Structure 1
Amino acid sequence: MTEAAVAIEALVQRRAHFELGPVELAIPAGYVTAIVGPNGSGKSSLFRLMLGLARPDAGRVSLLGRRVGDGDDTAYKTRIGYVPEEAIDLEDKISGDQKAAFVRPWYPGWDVNYYRELLRRFEIDAGLKLGKMSKGMRRKYDLSLAMAHHPDLLLLDEPSSGLDPIAWKTMIDVLHRYMERGDRTIVMASHIVDEVRRLADYIVFVVHGRVLGMYEKDALLESWQTMYVDDAGRSTDWKAMPGLRGFEAAGGTTYRIVTDSAHAAERWLAEAGATLVSKQKLELDDILIHLTEHARGVM
């Protein structure tokens, strides 16, 4: 991977009923990284810590080569765009145009033509008060505002929340175009499998405040497979199979097996004399279920 756009070291945040970390994570510049996990797993907490909106109890976060909370952070924050999971209620009484006029002076790279182009593509009436916008329109407006200064790093917390299918496809296209230059970075939290498939280069799984791992998406989807195997009654020692994640009888001498190391597992099956009847790649949500169960100590 290339240099890190986001570097997280030994990060811990403790709350009365939840603890995040310790987190070690290096998110590469120039790629889209999706943070995936169940609700309440700590995804939004990570975003707040990245932006300095909350303080960790231990560890450090660096964005674009600068440590968060270390002196004046104005300069590097002008290179960041952020869309939070929930809209800010305090802004409900101002219009989109009024908020843009307030925000614009903070960003030297503000591009009014690009901002207007995004409003047009998303079919947003920025003259409306923010509180009068539907959830989907507000989401599209917030994304347009976050991208208007061509940020080097775009942080998106559940970006498609409230979007209809047409707006969702527009968002996917806008983000693909944003990444065409090759030197920009997106970090997004999402539970939409198709969104992660279409956008992400890397996937970070977070469960119960713990990072379970960071994976290159295509390699991950290639390596996690369900296999139906016939061992012809040989009493094969399945526990020795590479990457074994799940195992159950499927009738007769056939077994249903889940592995996270498909290529190594196939070689092992051939050496063991077992017959691979069929195989199928797992979906991301199924992989997350297996990782979650493993984190709980369950096969």
Structure 2
Amino acid sequence: MTDTAVRLSGVKLKRPHFQLGPIDLEVPRGCVTAIVGPNGSGKSTTFRMILDVTKPDEGEIELLGERVEPGSSSDTALRQRIGYLQEESLSHERGFRASEKAGFVSQWYSGWDVNRYQELLRIFEIDPSMKLGKMSKGMRRKFDLAVVLAHNPELLILDEPSSGLDPLAWKQMIELLHRYMDDGDRTILLSTHIIEEVKRLADYIVFLVQGRVLGVYEKDELLSSWLGYFFSEQELAARADIRIEAMPGKQSLERMTGMVKITTDKAVEAEEWLRQHGITAAGKQALELDDILELLVDRQRLLTRHS
């Protein structure tokens, strides 16, 4: 059994006003990987290519150790091992009752667990006799999540899973996904704009910006390696022999009244560099994920302009 749940090799999709990729990405099995990035970066399109809904122009995709090949005899069996929650609910299903939709979906999955499904309905307080078109956005989201989880997929692909959820339902979703991962061999690949969601769930973070993967990071290592350092302009002026801009991993430099702030993505190396040069920071500040993403986006835009 491979340790990689999803592998994209040289995957590229070209459109008149947008190019996605080439993407080389490996999603580890048994972990939660979050793809984050601005709107229009290609997150949903990447999911559709992984699921063979959208065909890439180039590259290869593997899911759960099998190459994605449309029309192959293994395609149906492979899909039964995957659960997919798309960003927007299907509008043509509005006339279906929840029980009718679940009954239809259950026919496609040999692993459908009716007891699990009923348990999820109770947790989310969903009336199965209700028409999908009469549900609020949050209620519909909870129902779709219940359906996706009911067949106990090995790989769960979630596109903005908390869209429309109130705080209580969001907490329930987080707890359910933690329980889902207790098996040890299941995998979640999700996209989200909710930073707290990434903090609570993700083991790995993929930054996708303007159709390109800017990096894949282990979450805790990422948060500990990006720091903002504050220095007194007076102290720096007294050390004119040292170029503070040369600090390892420098990503940005801001000048404030009497202070200079430098952000680095190599905190360990930066600490050693400061020690060697006898420079003491006036303060430090850990960066939030949205701050890190903003800096990566700015860097990518600069590289795009220069190229």
What does 1:36-185 correspond to in 2, within 5 Å?
36-70=36-70, 71-72=72-73, 73-185=75-187
Counterpart CA distance in 1 for 2:140 and 2:253 is 46
Which residue number in structure 2 is paired with residue 206 of structure 1? 208
Counterpart CA distance in 2 for 1:250 and 1:271 is 25
TM-score (norm 2): 0.94
After superposing on structure 2, the runs of 4+ consecutive aligned residues of structure 1 that deviate more than 4 Å are none
SS at structure 2 position matched to 1:214:
strand
Deviations 1:224-261 (A, max 9, x none): 11111244421221232111001123344x42110001
What's the offset of the Cα at 1:181? 1.3
Which residue number in structure 2 is paired with residue 238 of structure 1? 244
Counterpart CA distance in 2 for 1:213 and 1:248 is 24
Which residue number in structure 2 is paired with residue 297 of structure 1? 302
Q: Percent identity?
A: 55
| Matched pairs, number | 296
What's the offset of the Cα at 1:46? 0.4
- Name the aligned partner's letter for residue 95 of structure 2: K
Which residue number in structure 1 is paired with residue 32 of structure 2? 32
What's the offset of the Cα at 1:105? 1.8
CA RMSD across the alignment? 1.2
- Name the aligned partner's letter for residue 82 of structure 1: Y
Q: Which of 250, 268, 278 is 1:263 aligned to? A: 268
Deviations 1:243-297 (A, max 9, x none): 1001123344x42110001111011011112111111110000000000011011
- Name the aligned partner's letter for residue 225 of structure 2: S
- Name the aligned partner's letter for residue 30 of structure 1: G
- Name the aligned partner's letter for residue 55 of structure 2: R
SS at structure 2 position matched to 1:296:
helix
SS at structure 2 position matched to 1:276:
coil
- Name the aligned partner's letter for residue 265 of structure 1: A
SS at structure 1 position matched to 2:282:
strand
Counterpart CA distance in 2 for 1:131 and 1:248 is 51
- Greater CA drift, 59-68 or 139-148: 59-68
What's the offset of the Cα at 1:129? 1.1
- Greater CA drift, 82-91 or 225-234: 225-234
What's the offset of the Cα at 1:7? 0.2
SS at structure 2 position matched to 1:297:
helix
Counterpart CA distance in 1 for 2:225 and 2:280 is 19
Counterpart CA distance in 2 for 1:248 and 1:179 is 42
1:285–1:188: structure 2 CA closer, same or farther, 3 Å change rule?
same
Deviations 1:107-127 (A, max 9, x none): 111110011101110111121
- Name the aligned partner's letter for residue 261 of structure 2: R
TM-score (norm 1): 0.96
Counterpart CA distance in 1 for 2:95 and 2:64 is 34
